[in-house]
Amino acid sequence: MARKGILIDINRCTGCYNCFLACRDEHFGNDYLPFSAAQPLNGQFWMRINEIERGKFPRPKVAYIPNPCMHCKAAPCIAAAKDEAVYKRPDGVVVIDPVKSKGQKEIVNACPYRAIHWNDEMQIPQKCTMCVHRLDEGEREPRCVESCPSGAMYFGDLDDPSSEIATVIKAASNAGNSSKVEAFHPEYGTDPSVLYIGIPKRFVAGEVVLSDNSGECAHSVKITLEGNGEKRVILSDSYGDFEFEGLEKNTDYKITVEKDGYATYKTQIFTKTDLNLGEVVLSSLK
């Protein structure tokens, strides 16, 4: 059985909103019955882009998480609908019937991802259809995926190990923690068919400075992070900066900074928030 899905690589998403605009262009004013009625001008975000601000000055970061309907395997919207007004197709796509769903505003509130929007004029709930009107006509992918200039989105059959999406998921899963493939809000327990690489977690950053060489960048200094069952070793860059990404939240880690001829610096961190250690000064042993 096929299971159509989308994989979104957050590390590649620049927040350009092309996917949002492509969705608007495809659906605003256009009926694709029996799958969807036209998207109205205002108030509907079938592809919402969540902006996540991280860290603080001087190390702020922004991540973008495109958030369409997740086409959940265990979809609460299906359970909340009367008269089978929301159903799952054999390819796994969840569709709201624009005729049967008339007046069923409770369907909107059933979605934990806030992916359903109420059309006041038509009195119907509406959402992303994964562009099934296109797929059924033989198009390769939904408009949002086609529109992404960064190659941040993959579409295909999650159940087919030879599909591109399954291959990318397998490669990412073998590549370590910061490439982990996961659901957005797995705690909702809905088994989504939209998956992500690089959902922001925590990062810790800093800058290595040598006590006898103030103002100069201490490049190529070895920095080791240990904790949560993993060990990572990196070198400071040519500006003396370093960063560990994709750390678990609310977890203890140990950081060691070492260079021949200097006292080793050790510190313990707890990832309640993103952290900037600032200047890490290594004292000369001479």
User: Under the rule (CB under 6 A), what is the footprint of ligand SF4?
Assistant: 13-19, 49, 64, 66, 69-72, 75-77, 94, 111, 113, 115-116, 127, 147-148, 150, 152-153, 190
Q: What is the separation of C-alpha 7 from the centre of its chain, rounded to a whole number of angstroms?
A: 9
Burial class (CB in 10 A: 0-12, 13-18, 19+), 267: middle
Nearest residue (CB) to ligand SF4, 105 versus 272: 105
Q: Within 10 Å of residue 240's Cβ, how many Cβ atoms?
A: 19
Q: Within 10 Å of residue 265's Cβ, how many Cβ atoms?
A: 19
The CB-side HSE value for 49 (13 A sphere, CA atoms) comes to 18
Nearest residue (CB) to ligand SF4, 92 versus 240: 92
CB of 22 to ligand SF4, least distance (A): 7
Tokens 């920095």 locate to 223
Nearest residue (CB) to ligand SF4, 70 versus 255: 70
Strands 275-282 and 202-210: parallel
CB of 72 to ligand SF4, least distance (A): 3
What the block records as the tokens of 265 is 């610096």
CB of 195 to ligand SF4, least distance (A): 13
Nearest residue (CB) to ligand SF4, 64 versus 265: 64
Nearest residue (CB) to ligand SF4, 75 versus 197: 75
CB of 198 to ligand SF4, least distance (A): 12
CB of 182 to ligand SF4, least distance (A): 15
